[in-house]
Amino acid sequence: MIRIIAFEAKMNPSVALPARRISDLLSSGLPARAKSKREAMDHPRTDPDQELVKRTQSGAAAAFDELVIKYTPRLYGLVYNMTSNHEDTNDLLQDIFAKAYKAIRGFRGKSSFYTWIHSIAVNMTLNFLKKRGRRFQLSLDDVDASVQNDKEFLELTATSSPVREADLSELQRRLNEAMMKLSEEHRAVVTMFHIQGMPHAEISKILRVSEGTVRSRLFYANRQLQNYLDEFRKNPVS
């Protein structure tokens, strides 16, 4: 690229870059960027849970308690939105932490604890859902009343007629039913991306698939959700 710039500058003096900029590009810019990238590779981002993990591995059960307290709300959201059943979520979450506690001695820190425990949670939930099949009942948690003050909810009720016309519990039921119509893998991606707000890269690490696979699953799931929610759009109050 530098060669091209130099060639163009020779041919056409108007495109010539100021000498300082070129020298910056040659001396500091690229090597600095490469250096920082190398440094980032040499010293990967430290895991914020590293200390707690090490203490747990050395036998301090209290350290694992701290990890449980820290990750319970987040993992609850993940499992609940994949199962749409509070009781199943509770049992699964207990099993997930029990499994993590047993396996933590073998955790070598190749990934962050966050990724590791999310992988356990997703895999166990997927296995559970495959065993459960289609015979289940929704057991939904109550929607927090503070949703009425949510900016996005207010925007939706202002712009979308079905959301405005349906009451909150009806909207919740329709959403969960639509989610349950997705395959387990698509539901997992939708939950992590749309509900939990995880980036594609993190989801790909957790599911051990490529980012492209994550994106394609999201695209496909969105199309399906559009179809499933079409009925809700046509008939907001059933």
Partner 1 sequence: MDEFNDSEIARLLRLKRYEQPPPGYFENFLHEFHRRQRDELLRQPLWRICLERAHSFITRLDVRPLASYPTAAAAVFVCAAIISLKIYQQPETARVALQSPPTLSLPANAEGELNLVAPVSMPILRTQPVRSFHESAQTHRAAPPRYVLDSVPVSYEPTFRF
Residue 160 binding partner 1, by CB under 8 A: yes
Structure tokens at 34: 């490469």
Neighbours of 168 (CB within 10 A): 14
Site for partner 1 in 53-72 (CB under 8 A): 58-59, 65, 68-69, 72
Torsional class of 46: left (φ above 0), alpha (ψ -120 to 50), beta (otherwise): beta
CB 164 within 8 A of CB 171: no
Rule CB under 8 A: choose which of 143, 208, 212, 216 binds partner 1: 143
Contact 205, 115 (CB under 8 A): yes
* Residue indicated by tokens 């859902």: 129
Residue 49: name the closest of 80, 82, 74 by CA.
74
Shortest spacing between CB 213 and partner 1, in angstroms: 19
Residues 201-230 interacting with partner 1 (rule: CB under 8 A): 222, 225-226, 229-230
Taking CB under 8 A as the criterion, which residues in 107-126 touch partner 1?
A: none
> Cα(218)–Cα(238) distance, rounded to whole angstroms?
28
Q: Does 77 bind partner 1 (CB under 8 A)?
A: yes
Point out which residues bind partner 1 (CB under 8 A). Answer: 58-59, 65, 68-69, 72-73, 76-77, 80-81, 86, 93-94, 97-98, 101, 105-106, 140-144, 146-147, 150, 152-153, 155-156, 159-161, 163, 171-172, 175-176, 190, 194-195, 197, 222, 225-226, 229-230, 233
